[in-house]
Amino acid sequence: MNEQLKAIVRSLRKVLRRMREVEPQLVELIVRSVRESNGVDREMMLESLRSNERPGALRFPFTNMIVEYLLQELEEPYSHIADMVQLINGLVLEFSQICKKARIMIEETWE
């Protein structure tokens, strides 16, 4: 199981690194989607972006759930679990930053 957990950590690192590399493209994709939507959908999309800017709202329920599962089911050393939680938090934080940048870009050009 230890090798399986290490593989998951490697995969998460790769995803986080890639998210950081393509952040400008992700922001532009979100901005374009919101701009091309109609008024009601646009407001809902902006509200969704606002809520996703707050990583604390996403971070704690998911990481607590994951840590609890890993501690009970995988019986892995805590250091591996801490690594995974740190990576997951990094992913959530990066996602929130992408949403924030997209929302700001949209609101700056809102007409």
pLDDT digits (tens, 9 = 90+) for 14-52: 888 888 888 888 888 888 888 888 777 788 888 877 777
**Measured between alpha carbons, how far is residue 78 from residues 10, 12, 84, 88, 89 in Å?**
17, 17, 10, 15, 16
Provide the domain limits for residue 55. 2-108
Opening angle at CA 80, ends 55 and 23, nearest 5? 35
pLDDT digits (tens, 9 = 90+) for 46-82: 887 777 777 655 444 445 555 566 566 555 566 666 7
Helix axes 23-36, 78-108, angle to 10 degrees: 50
Give me the percent of the chain exceeding a pLDDT of 70: 71
Query: What is the domain count for the chain?
Result: 1
Closest CA to 91 of 63, 49, 61, 50: 63
